[in-house]
Structure 1
Amino acid sequence: MNHACGIDFGTSNSTAAIYTDAGARLLALEDGKVTLPSAVFFNVEDDTLAFGRAALGEYLEGYEGRLMRAMKSLLGSNLIDAGTEVGGRTLAFRDLIGRFIGEVKARAQQQAGHNFDAVVLGRPVRFVDDNDAADAQAETTLAQIAGDLGFKHVSFQFEPIAAAHDYEERIEREELVLVVDIGGGTSDFSLIRLSPDRRGKDDRSADLLASCGVHIGGTDFDKRLSLACVMPELGLGAQLKRGAAFPSSVFFHLATWHTINFAYTRKMRQTLHALAPDVTDMTRFDRLFHVINQQSAHHLAMRVEDTKIALSDTESVAMALSEIDEALVRDVSRQTFADAIADEITRVGAAAMQTLNQAGVAVADVDTLFFTGGASAVPALRAAMAALFPAARAVEGDAYGSVGAGLAVVARQRYG
């Protein structure tokens, strides 16, 4: 009986997997689907927590409560020990993460038909950029949460390396592979030598040439698209009567998945009320208060996310913004999106090149770019990678399942 599992706690989606005689098996976590959106909704009316698609559904149906997404982004930050206020009480972010991962574990055990006492958790190459202490603390926090959930053995594997293990299960020849894992919160790269002969070995340290990552992912792309196309409709960029710019902090909160709830606080409302006499554009100011009072910013964030995804297949999207104004529609082009995330794409490309530099490997030596992660399909990202590695062939992994499946392979190697 397999007592170990792999869990990919993702910024946007999470998976769990085990290794069987037939290979890695992703477990169905919700409605027959192997992904569980990393979302928690506290329903004030029923005093209950809902998870995944059910959480998003209750929020969209208009139940009173609080929705949390992108909780993984809180790991390593000074917000992890803070919380969000719901119904007159504070829900600690650390506890919410624990409740969510505990739900993943419980559902995975139900699907597997037995309990798990060992887990390999995926982790980005960097939880936090340029702060080793905060990065280490993020892993420690996640390990403590897993231990509190009853896992006796907890270990970690870099997410792109886990994806490489999944890819290696089906290759037929040796390849030098750059794994390009663009998730919801981070972009991670691993340069690794893979082959059919190597995949059975426990010690792969000689095959892993380098890993690098940057704290940029799909939710950052959402934020930049929102700041470019949605937040100006609420007043971003407006001037106050005294000549100063309207404070931007509220718009950054509203455009960022894991800080949206901060825009709903009493303190933020008081700050905005104090600005009212100095406002020049009352139409957009009223729109801002409407979104805050209705707590509809998550609806807007979902529309932005849907637009981002659609722009991978079409050149232009008509984004309806009925939460702001029933008649408001913004036409968003693929080029507008590319312009909005240009700086982020440059930093992601630099992280890819840093991976090669660490290994002392030339661009021409890379055989394969293995793409995984939900944001890996963004056209601007793919164009940048193609320009950096013109001779490498692109291979598509399972955008949401490669990491989880690879973690199951690692769990088998470590725990039997």
Structure 2
Amino acid sequence: MNNPDGFCAIDFGTSNSAVAVPDAATGMRLVELEPSQRTMPTAVFYFAEGPHDADGPPRAFGRAAVAAYVEGHEGRLMRSMKSILGSPLIDQTTDVGGGRGAKYSDIVSGYLKRLRRLAGEPERAVLGRPVFFVDGDPVRDAAAQAQLEGCARAVGFRDVQFQYEPIAAAFDFEQQATREQIVLVADIGGGTSDFSLVRVGPERMQRLARRDDILASHGVHIAGTDFDRHIELAGLLQAFGYRATGPNGREVPSGIFFDLATWHLINTCYAPLRVAEWRGMKSWFADVRQHARLMTVLEERLGHELAARAEGAKIAISGGADTTVDLGHIERGLVLPLSEKTAVDALRADLDRIIATAHETVALAGLQADQVDALYFTGGSTGLRLLVDGMAAGFPAAARVTGDRFASVATGLGLHAQRLFAGH
């Protein structure tokens, strides 16, 4: 597919990504990144075997990457790549299997190259960015954007513009606005919870300069992957020895469990020396079954699968019901109950912090909660009822509007790209 207009918009998300391109009939449209799918998991699987091609080591992207991992192919699955932006990891090389290494920057670039190809290889792009890549560190935050821009330029984009993701979502909301309103956009994805208070309306839509309409932006680096981690620690990993006390009265060291619950650190748990160390720590466990389960995870490299079960449990309880987690692949007959209360207790501090950030955003604009006309929810984690209900309770006068959880940002970025680039 060729992109004759030469531009696109990319929502490079922590969990999922989407791309918008010009369309003669609709103005902008979302690209089908996979069969019948307008979004694609932000995932790359590096195969341990196979020849390099012009693009580098043999890889699979998106759902194919996740499937390769689940099917047990030798190699390494990379997810949550956005989370390394702004960190020293970006210039480091990591083992991707088969004795091969890849720089984290090349991993990000490879994924962006895939998106650019699916967009028709345009040379101009608007990329979304969170309000803060890194909380409380402006230097690292600026570095993160510069790193993402460098990765984009490395794969052929010569003109790279950025727009805040929640502001892009406001542009999407604005398409349905019939009057001028003040909307608080809550973009809660996999890595960040971002908020923007934006003035929208049908008379403002065609303005390219919208700075005066952005009343405040704020964010916090807490979102879906943090929820998954807390669910895994509280609901699953205690059956593997997390917070357990051994016969000697000492608590089992917790570092391995925190790493197992953090996507980009899971592979560090499989280092031979680390596995050998834990194999020798059986005496630390009062319940040797917990040690056996942990060793199965480490020796059979089941950490990402365990994290996926935690994510599934989070989704299952998002509507407010108890659930169970089947871990029979680790130990025959192992099924763990997960109550809504356990989940709420595990997530409470994060949920309270996100809700507080929403109110801080309004305060930054010098407004009160009752002056917000609408709450616009987008991002995958807004499927969590506990969060959405808690936030809505603090803005009782605001209409609650739910956008496309996975595509609103890309749609809004596309509108912004069209205004920037169309006719130029």
**1:16 partnered with 2:19:** yes
Aligned 1:378-389 pairs, distance under 5 A: 378-389=384-395
**1:239 partnered with 2:276:** no
Provide, for residues 83-111 of structure 1, a one-character-per-residue CA deviation record: whole Å limited to 9, x for no partner.
432222322221111111111111121xx
TM-score, scaled to structure 1: 0.95
Change (3 A) 1:105 1:190: same
For structure 1, the residue ranges without an aligned partner over 5 or more in a row are 110-114
Instruction: Tell me by how many angstroms 1:241 deviates.
Output: 4.2
Give 2:114's match in structure 1, choosing from 103, 107, 128: 103
Cα separation, 2, equivalents of 1:136 and 1:322: 45
TM-score, scaled to structure 2: 0.94
Instruction: Tell me by how many angstroms 1:35 deviates.
Output: 0.7
What is residue 311 of structure 1 aligned with on the other side?
317
Instruction: Tell me by how many angstroms 1:305 deviates.
Output: 1.2
For structure 2, the residue ranges without an aligned partner over 5 or more in a row are 52-57
Instruction: Tell me by how many angstroms 1:314 deviates.
Output: 5.2
Aligned 1:13-162 pairs, distance under 5 A: 13-21=16-24, 22-46=26-50, 48-85=58-95, 86-109=97-120, 115-162=121-168
**1:405 partnered with 2:416:** no
Cα separation, 2, equivalents of 1:6 and 1:233: 44
**Partner letter of residue 328 of structure 1?**
L
Cα separation, 2, equivalents of 1:208 and 1:300: 41
Contact kept, 8 Å, 1:299 with 1:323, in 2: the verdict is no
What is residue 112 of structure 1 aligned with on the other side?
none
Change (3 A) 1:362 1:14: same
Provide, for residues 64-87 of structure 1, a one-character-per-residue CA deviation record: whole Å limited to 9, x for no partner.
111111111111122222343222
Provide, for residues 309-358 of structure 1, a one-character-per-residue CA deviation record: whole Å limited to 9, x for no partner.
12233512121112321211112222321111101011101111111111
What is residue 55 of structure 2 aligned with on the other side?
none
Residue aligned with 1:134, SS: helix
Give 1:259's match in structure 2, choosing from 265, 278, 303: 265
Give 2:10's match in structure 1, choosing from 7, 11, 19: 7
Instruction: Tell me by how many angstroms 1:16 deviates.
Output: 0.3
The structure whose RCO (Cα within 8 Å, separation 6+) is larger is 1
Contact kept, 8 Å, 2:28 with 2:418, in 1: the verdict is no
Cα separation, 1, equivalents of 2:296 and 2:132: 37
**Percent sequence identity over matched residues?**
43
Cα separation, 1, equivalents of 2:291 and 2:82: 32
What is residue 214 of structure 1 aligned with on the other side?
220
Instruction: Tell me by how many angstroms 1:268 deviates.
Output: 2.1
**Partner letter of residue 128 of structure 1?**
V
Count of residues in Structure 1 that have an aligned counterpart in Structure 2 = 411
Instruction: Tell me by how many angstroms 1:261 deviates.
Output: 1.1
Instruction: Tell me by how many angstroms 1:282 deviates.
Output: 2.0
**Partner letter of residue 174 of structure 2?**
E
**1:336 partnered with 2:342:** yes
Instruction: Tell me by how many angstroms 1:18 deviates.
Output: 1.9
Contact kept, 8 Å, 1:321 with 1:330, in 2: the verdict is yes
RMSD (Å), alpha carbons: 1.5
**Partner letter of residue 12 of structure 2?**
F
Cα separation, 2, equivalents of 1:339 and 1:286: 28
Instruction: Tell me by how many angstroms 1:173 deviates.
Output: 1.2
Instruction: Tell me by how many angstroms 1:128 deviates.
Output: 0.6
Cα separation, 1, equivalents of 2:148 and 2:196: 22
